[in-house]
Amino acid sequence: MYATHQTAISNYARECPDHLARVMRFVILSIREPLFNIPADMEIVGTQSEGIEKVLWGIKGKAIAAIDADKQYTYDYLEYVYRLHLSDIEKSELMLCYLATMPGFGLPKAGFVIQLAYGLCGCMDTHNLKRYGLGARTFQGWKTLRTAKYRFRRVQLYVKTCYELGGPEELWNSWCEYVAPRTSIKTGPVLTYRDAEHVSAMHCEALELEG
């Protein structure tokens, strides 16, 4: 799953700033929204279609505007860090320190971006926090920490947690396996996904990629 779908997304995201920005847009639209809704939401936002105000609720509109405004710098910075002679953990820390400062991004969503685009770190979303027995607020409030030192320590804890739990591939595959049999309040008792492979492939579907 991960080897196929994440690779396709990474190859796409690293081609140019516009593609990376589109992957980041996908991540923002996934805030408090089930994965099966994201392909339609991406289409609405991409075409500025009717109903866009229902998709870009809360911080999402501001976050996407910031992504588009800073896409060249973001792309250049992440590519620069990725090419440094550092460990995956060190690269993850530097990328998180930048991405998590952007509107709409905390540590989990910043981690999701670099998992998708660079195969690093991972996304400790509510599903992962629950299944690994971590508190819902474990990684919240990063931006409110008073000093850069404390913020960096939280970044280090986040990255350390992701890799201790198996790293980006294990987190991806096990998340898909966990989500696949679950129903949603939006679908009732009907299963939303065929299987874990379908969950994984839907990341590519949202970006209109073959995978």
Query: Distance (Å, rounded) from C-alpha 193 to C-alpha 199?
Result: 6
Q: Residue 188 — very low, low, confident or very high, per pLDDT cuts 50/70/90?
A: low
Residue 11 lies in a domain: yes
The answer, yes or no, to whether residue 178 has pLDDT greater than 90, is yes
- What is the spatial distance between Cα 17 and Cα 91, in angstroms, rounded to a whole number? 19
Number of domains within the chain: 1
Q: Would you say residue 185 has pLDDT above 60?
A: no
**Rounded distance between C-alpha atoms, residue 80 and residue 72, angstroms:** 12
In a domain, 190, yes or no: yes
Q: Find tokens 């400062």 and name the residue.
A: 101
Report the alpha-carbon distance of residue 169 to residue 49 in Å, rounded: 35
What is the distance between the alpha carbons of residues 82 and 98, in angstroms, rounded to a whole number? Answer: 13
Question: Does residue 46 fall inside a structural domain?
Answer: yes
Residue 60 forms part of a structural domain: yes
DSSP characters over 120-154 = -S----HHHHHHTT--TTTT--GGG-SSHHHHHHH
Residue 150 confidence (pLDDT)? 87
Q: Which residue has the tokens 């991806």?
A: 172
Q: Percent helix, strand and coil across the chain, each rounded to 5? A: 65, 0, 35
**CB proximity list for 35: less than 8 A, separation 6 or greater:** 179, 199, 202, 203, 206
Averaged pLDDT for residues 124-153: 86
**pLDDT at residue 184 is higher than 70:** no
Domain membership of residue 192 (yes or no) is yes
- With tokens 């990328």, the residue in question is 95
Chain-centre distance for alpha carbon 157: 18
211, part of any domain: no
Query: Does any domain span residue 201?
Result: yes
Contact 151, 145 (CB under 8 A): yes
* Structural domain boundaries, residue 185: 2-206
Judge whether 124 lies within some domain. yes
What tokens were used for 71?
């896409």
Question: What's the whole-number mean pLDDT along residues 10-19?
Answer: 98
